[in-house]
Structure 1
């Protein structure tokens, strides 16, 4: 009898974590909007999904892919998605419009966005000022790639209205637009950038895949891809948000420890754009810009505000609540739970 009680007690102890987890995750089935899931910018999201990290935390997310970050943002504002895997600066942009969004786990510590020109249509390009009157391809108008283009243009004395911004997506469509000469420049991410580089269809002007260059461009640490959600969702579902942070921190750490071969096996074949070697080169180019542990830099929000205010006159007098745009609380607990990859 004593032995049976011990066996039952042991079985109950083993079952308890799953039971508790099921009770504490308020919303196991949820939707995540993302703009360009195939991009290395969002590699931690893909890894958390493909390696079962979300499932291990009791989550069953539906990841909905859009043409760019601005459209993913619209999905959460419109109520068709619970949260976004997107660029950090959107939390500040929307704060200025009265929307309370908060980032809670980082995927990229630098934007990884590259602005480059088309050697076919601009063979004599010398400076950014030469882009006046030209067509610039971005993932989607209003997305972080558009913000980056505007920021570089502003430094050269150009206004957003001095160029034509064209949405070309974040995959083969972007590559085709460049190669066909439909756009004179592009602001995009990997693997698109590396593919265009390898084929000689891109001349790089500004490269924020390099953390030091990103900090030079923006004047400080510029947080990039992250998970962010309406503050109301975070308040209502704190255990769900914590579970999301756990999964993403595990993914961040796994990526830092992984080799190119492991990355290739973990991502869908379609992400490779038909060339594994290009994807490996792209991963190696971006790896340093991916977050090692999901933490936001203390000065990151201030850097993002400066960047936004430099390109948008309507934001210059806005008093931002920087602390309300991000939190490391969930990430700190995730790093305690998963100190290693």
Structure 2
């Protein structure tokens, strides 16, 4: 699937998932604060369900922006208020946000610590679009022995992808130096400037690396963990329960 075709697909998937979360109509639990789907604040169209959604920003949020521009959310009966946040879990627990895009590990850890968080969907269809790219002089995974490898954030799903790829090629964690180099533009810049010799990364940066001669794709994540999802849609647990009752 090309990037151009993938973008509208993801936008529709998100719209349908949000619709499923708040599907149906009916009264809310009197012990819960009025949810945005029922309080009517800012909703000029009574036929649309109001929802406060914090998608990923930057490149990862392009599909959602595309969907909003094309009216996909309205077609699914949603009046979406898009919110920008640097702490999606805090937004859910404070009830300022209803649904967020968030790293799988972040959502699981938060729920394990008692946060009222419910994972409702993967952000991807069947696999995460992640690649292990390396500087031009590195042609395969085995060449990474003794090198610096970017894993985004320690403890993240992207680190898991990287570790599994290395293991499948006979490399142990001590054979490389892991670097927390963030994601997207920051991760790509770390490869360009030589801070790392390889990095796990999203599109379009994998394709850009090859097109501009700045790197090689040496592994694709889904070949190693085809059913592992590094990103999910998560909702406030009470919001989810109320919506399920409608």
**TM-score when scaled to structure 1?**
0.48
Helix, strand or coil: the match of 2:208?
Answer: helix
Corresponding position of 1:32:
54
- Describe the shift of the 1:29–1:94 C-alpha distance in structure 2 as closer, same or farther (beyond 3 A): closer
Gaps of 5+ in 1: 1-19, 209-213, 243-341
Distance (Å, rounded) in 2 between the aligned partners of 1:43 and 1:118: 27
Q: CA RMSD in A?
A: 3.7
Helix, strand or coil: the match of 2:82?
Answer: strand
Q: Does the 8 A contact of 2:158 with 2:230 survive in 1?
A: no
Equivalent of 2:177 in 148, 163, 169: 163
- Describe the shift of the 1:198–1:48 C-alpha distance in structure 2 as closer, same or farther (beyond 3 A): same
Distance (Å, rounded) in 1 between the aligned partners of 2:178 and 2:109: 22
Q: Which has the larger radius of gyration?
A: 1
1:235, distance to aligned residue in structure 2 (A): 1.2
Q: Deviations over 1:297-319 (max 9, x none)?
A: xxxxxxxxxxxxxxxxxxxxxxx
Q: Which has the higher helix share?
A: 1
Distance (Å, rounded) in 2 between the aligned partners of 1:80 and 1:96: 21
Number of matched residues? 202
Residues 50-199 of structure 1: pairs in structure 2 closer than 5 A: 50-56=69-75, 57-64=77-84, 72-73=88-89, 75-76=91-92, 81-88=97-104, 90-99=106-115, 100-104=117-121, 106-119=123-136, 123=137, 126-128=140-142, 130-132=144-146, 134-136=148-150, 138=152, 140-155=153-168, 156-159=170-173, 163-171=177-185, 173-199=186-212
Helix, strand or coil: the match of 2:180?
Answer: strand
1:114, distance to aligned residue in structure 2 (A): 0.4
Q: Which has the higher strand share?
A: 2
Gaps of 5+ in 2: 1-23, 29-36, 40-49
Q: Does the 8 A contact of 1:88 with 1:103 survive in 2?
A: no
**TM-score when scaled to structure 2?**
0.63
Corresponding position of 1:217:
224
